Structure 1
């Protein structure tokens, strides 16, 4: 069963290399049991079928290179055997790792994740994100907010960057809570290097997760794609600081697109025009305390 699952993951990775469009197109195939089984076993293809729903499946089945499947099977097996990370497919496979439920609800969810541990589907989760160059007081606020929320059982999600992200992870760990670090690189590459020790502690007491091939470097767009996963894994997103065109702003726009509540840290953002416009539109609200965040979380259960 284990080797079968790793081989399925290898087929998904080889398919991603061929994909003519968005990775989420492959996610839709994995979520369709018939199409996914055909991808795994091309002999199931019906020569008479001409529906548009099967065109991508047929293209992948015709184009898959078995040497690439074997390559990925070997690479994923090494990762699993060395306990570096395990693949999590968006397909519903009995007995297989469970794909995060909140992320599965998102239209652009990645077809595969690599994670160092399972992600709890039951506890509430909050993304705390912000600038790498945030003011010292804002970084301290991020740490304390994460610690307060984590101490009460909320999972803290962030992006392993310097500044606010690192403070949020540190706060959760200081409270003996759970934190999820969503990476903009492959699961074997820590960026920035200054957070290597922090990443090791998150591995022991939380989860490192990446949607990218295991050895992939950072790219111009990988951190923007990472932001989609941060928003998708979280019930609520809190932006502590950021400019109108920042990566943090991009993350909260994704959260808004997913229909998730967005909170803005008023001590740092109430003077920003873009933040005031979001508040005026009702797409986000200003907060200044842990209690206000908890009230938002409590409201999700009503």
Structure 2
């Protein structure tokens, strides 16, 4: 595939993700797969750590499978760990959208999408705001997160690290920020409801103590709470216009 053959979505196009119009400067998007999934009626972002516990990874897959079976399109960043397991679970029973922090013709794309290619015709849409050959960069991953949560009606955090951790580097101690925590904060800024699994991990418990996320038990009881929450919200006549929040921030 050549870069010239990659289709694009530009703000103003009929297929452009309408939820992203609530972002400042919605980006041009390259895509592979079914572009109509970008404007699915019901979406949920399932996000979490690359280095999640086995328990969290199991819940990520179950969450993806559950919500896809109920007609939600599952949105993720397709990173190893929670994101990938949630996407795999979703594709077992339904459909998914993935936003990746590299170009769609990069070596990273070839490696990551190889096993997902059978789903690209009907079940999966892969989006990138980067030029087709752009390699993975840490800053791209953090920037990609706003698109993941921006595409969602609601965000489920399966496992997060602490907001910041202090790690020893070559030049001394260095503060490292959690990408999952930052994505949850971005979701809050955009007015998307944020739920977190009440797992006995340091990061999840710290996020729950912040008070602006909704804690749910892992499993179907918690998943149904999210569905009930969305069902009881005032109905929107249409997807948000530019500058309008899907759900006003509390």
TM over 0.5: yes
Name the count of aligned residue pairs. Answer: 213
- 1:162/1:195 contact within 8 Å kept: no
- Could you tell me which residue of structure 1 aligns to residue 68 of structure 2? 150
CA pair 162-108 structure 1, distance change in 2 beyond 3 A = same
- Compute the TM-score of the two structures, normalised by the length of structure 1: 0.65
What displacement does 1:118 show?
Answer: 1.1
Question: Do structure 1's residue 275 and structure 2's residue 207 form an aligned pair?
Answer: yes
CA distance 1:191–1:159, shift in 2 (3 Å) = farther
User: Quick check: which has more Rg, 1 or 2?
Assistant: 1
Q: Partner of 1:140 in structure 2?
A: 58
Deviation digits for residues 156-192 of structure 1 (CA, Å, limit 9, x no counterpart): 00011111011111111111x1100100001223637
Of residues 93, 96, 116, the one that matches 1:179 is 96
Q: Which residue of 2 aligns with 1:300?
A: 233
Cα distance change of structure 1 residues 190 and 151 upon mapping to structure 2, 3 Å threshold: farther
Query: Which residue in 1 is equivalent to 2:184?
Result: 252
- Higher RCO, Cα 8 Å, sep 6+: 2
Q: Any idea what the Cα deviations from partners look like across 1:243-284, whole Å, max 9, x if unmatched?
A: 123111111111001011001111255774531332x2xx21
| The structure with more helix, counted as a fraction of residues | 1
- Which stretch of the first structure deviates more once superposed, 154-163 or 211-220? 211-220
Q: Determine which of 13, 23, 30 is the counterpart of 1:114.
A: 30
Distance (whole Å) between structure 2 residues aligned to residue 89 and residue 220 of structure 1: 25
Task: Say whether 1:285 aligns with 2:214.
Answer: yes
Alignment of 1:108-257 (within 5 A): 108-110=25-27, 112-116=28-32, 117-120=34-37, 121-175=39-93, 177-189=94-106, 191=108, 195-204=112-121, 205-243=123-161, 244=163, 245-257=177-189
CA contact (8 A) 2:198 2:205 kept: no
Which residue number in structure 2 is paired with residue 104 of structure 1? 21
Output the CA distance in 2 between the equivalents of 1:221 and 1:209.
17
- Looking at secondary structure, tell me which structure has more strand per residue: 2
Give the deviation of 1:147 after TM superposition: 0.7
For the Cα contact (< 8 Å) 1:270–1:276, is it kept in 2? no
Rounded Cα–Cα distance in structure 1 between residues aligned with 2:46 and 2:107: 19
| Corresponding residue number in structure 2 for 1:55 | none
Q: Per the alignment, in what secondary structure is the counterpart of residue 146 of structure 1?
A: helix
- C-alpha distance in 2 between matches for 1:147 and 1:125: 13
1:130-163 deviation per Cα after TM superposition (whole angstroms, max 9, x unaligned): 0111111111111111111101110000011111
Give the match's secondary structure for 2:75. strand
Whole-Å separation in 2 of the counterparts to 1:88 and 1:141: 33
1:231 counterpart SS class: helix
Q: TM-score, normalised by structure 2?
A: 0.78
Q: Say whether the 8 Å CA contact 2:196–2:204 is kept in structure 1.
A: no
Structure 1 residue 107 displacement after superposition:
2.2
What does residue 8 of structure 2 align with?
Answer: 87
Gaps of 5+ in 1: 1-74, 80-84
Q: 2:40–2:73: 8 Å Cα contact kept in structure 1?
A: no
